[in-house]
Amino acid sequence: MVDSATDSITVSVWRGVAGSGDFQDYQVPQQPSQTILDVITWIQRHLDASLSYRFACRVGMCGSCAMMVNGIPRWTCRTHVNKVMQERHLTVEPLRNLPVIKDLACDMSEFFEKWRQAEGHFQGRRSRDETVAAISPKSSQRQAANAAIECINCAICYASCDVVAWNRDYLGPAALNRAWSLQNDQRDRAQDERLKVVAGDAGCHQCHSQQGCSTYCPNELNPTASIAGLKRMSAHWFMNKKYRQRHG
Amino acid sequence: MVELRLYMAQRATAAIMAPLVLLHLGVMIYAIQGGLSADEILERTRGSLFWGGTYGLFVIAVSVHATIGLRNILREWFRLRGPVLAVLCWLCGAGLLIAGLRAVVAVVGAP
């Protein structure tokens, strides 16, 4: 602990398990270039070893350490204290819209399950015996796929989305962003099946384009634009003659 | 696919309403330049198939469009589902349609 009040930060950390818990205040010494993850780690190592939280790479690659910081979802390993601290105070909570396991660790199962539901895995057209598909990096489809591809599965977009909060079935921005990337991958063969899922009742048409996902994505992706793309794609599909014939 | 159908219906009705709103505003601004009174306007609209059709189409589009929007609010903010949601939405749609068509009749019908 640090004696001088000017050198310490008051950190209110949410402690508890699913359904019950409260904020607990800790005094943490401020350091140069200190991140929120550094602060949480310091609390666990020096003040309370029972504090639970999740992290892995510490360099913004793995997407494990996202938490609510002063009410905003952030990747804590790349968020500097001096950029988000308000009057020497920080509030750290588990991610919104996901069930809490304990303290700052939430259960990501539904988030990943929705990736699966949205057919978020690549299904190649060609076997290993065939030649590699030639895809022009300049093609508009490849550029659309590239724009959506750097997701690290941190669930910050999922936590920022009001539609997820209102409708628990909604697939969410990350799964739909992934689906958009694959819908533009010319090597993928599951685009018809995927489009049926993402145009379904829990899919892209639930989005109100509030853009919380795009505002807070730490990798500066634009899931709102991806979802808008899926809306356009499914609208074309809806008006397609084959669809009308099949569904009357 | 209910949500996709509703999404398409809401966009289609928006596409119908947008030009009709512009037509309504444009004619309204043009018509009052010479100081037309309400009675004089009604004289011109009564018995008009064109204005009856225009405003009738607008009312139908509004009833569909607004009801779908209200349905989203009822689902998301009040967590309504199933028959309760359906009955409320049909009532709202029917109410808008009846109120709107009454207004159309008042504009184009006989005094």
Q: In CATH, what number is assigned to the domain containing residue A50? A: 3.10.20.30
- The span from the first CA to the last CA of chain B, in angstroms, equals 46
User: What pLDDT does residue A183 have?
Assistant: 96
The mean per-residue pLDDT over the stretch A108-137 comes to: 94
Same domain, A92 and A113: no
The mean per-residue pLDDT over the stretch A209-214 comes to: 97
Residue B21 has pLDDT above 70, yes or no: yes
Q: Is A119 strand, coil or helix?
A: coil
Same domain, A180 and A227: yes
Q: What is the token pair recorded at B96?
A: 């808008």
Same domain, A45 and A161: no
Residue-number span of the structural domain to which A191 is assigned: 109-247
User: What pLDDT does residue B37 have?
Assistant: 86
> How big is the A-B interface in CB pairs under 8 Å?
32
Same domain, A93 and A190: no
Which of A72, A106, A140 is the C-terminal boundary of a domain? A106
Which of A106, A136, A167 is the C-terminal boundary of a domain? A106
Same domain, A10 and A89: yes
Residue A5 has pLDDT above 50, yes or no: no
User: What pLDDT does residue A246 have?
Assistant: 61
CATH number of the domain encompassing residue A114? 1.10.1060.10
The answer to whether the Cβ–Cβ distance between B8 and A167 falls below 8 Å is no
Same domain, A131 and A240: yes
The mean per-residue pLDDT over the stretch A8-34 comes to: 95
Same domain, A164 and A44: no
> What's the mean pLDDT when you consider all of chain B?
94
Which of A91, A106, A121 is the C-terminal boundary of a domain? A106
pLDDT tier at A213 (50, 70, 90 boundaries)?
A: very high
Same domain, A123 and A91: no
Residue B107 has pLDDT above 80, yes or no: yes
The answer to whether the Cβ–Cβ distance between B7 and A201 falls below 8 Å is no
Same domain, A207 and A121: yes
The mean per-residue pLDDT over the stretch A170-180 comes to: 98
Domain count for chain A, please give it. Answer: 2
Which among B4, B76, B77 has CB closest to A234? B4
- Is A91 touching B (CB cutoff 8 A)? no
- Identify each DSSP E strand in chain A by its residue range: 8-17, 20-29, 66-69, 72-75, 89-93, 100-102, 105-106
B55's CB contacts (< 8 A; 6+ apart) are: B103, B104, B107, B108
pLDDT tier at A243 (50, 70, 90 boundaries)?
A: low
User: What pLDDT does residue B35 have?
Assistant: 85
CATH class entry, domain B2-108: mainly alpha
Q: What is the pLDDT of residues B42-82, one digit of tens each?
A: 999 999 999 999 999 999 999 999 999 999 999 999 999 99
User: What pLDDT does residue A244 have?
Assistant: 64
What's the CA gap between A198 and A213, in Å, rounded? Answer: 17
Q: What is the pLDDT of residues A47-105, one digit of tens each?
A: 999 999 999 999 999 999 999 999 999 999 999 999 999 999 999 999 999 999 999 99
Which among A201, A235, A239 has CB closest to B3? A201
The structural domains of chain B, with segments of one domain joined by +, span: 2-108
Same domain, A183 and A243: yes
User: What pLDDT does residue B1 have?
Assistant: 81
Among all residues of chain B, which has the CA nearest to that of A199?
A: B4
What's the CA gap between A154 and A218, in Å, rounded? Answer: 9
User: How close is the nearest chain A Cα to the Cα of B5, in Å?
Assistant: 8
Q: What is the token pair recorded at B42?
A: 């009604």
User: What pLDDT does residue A1 have?
Assistant: 44
User: What pLDDT does residue A3 have?
Assistant: 44
- Is A212 touching B (CB cutoff 8 A)? no
- Is A246 touching B (CB cutoff 8 A)? no
Same domain, A164 and A221: yes
Residue A68 CB burial class (10 angstroms; 0-12, 13-18, ≥19): buried
Residue type at A156 in one-letter notation: I
Same domain, A76 and A127: no
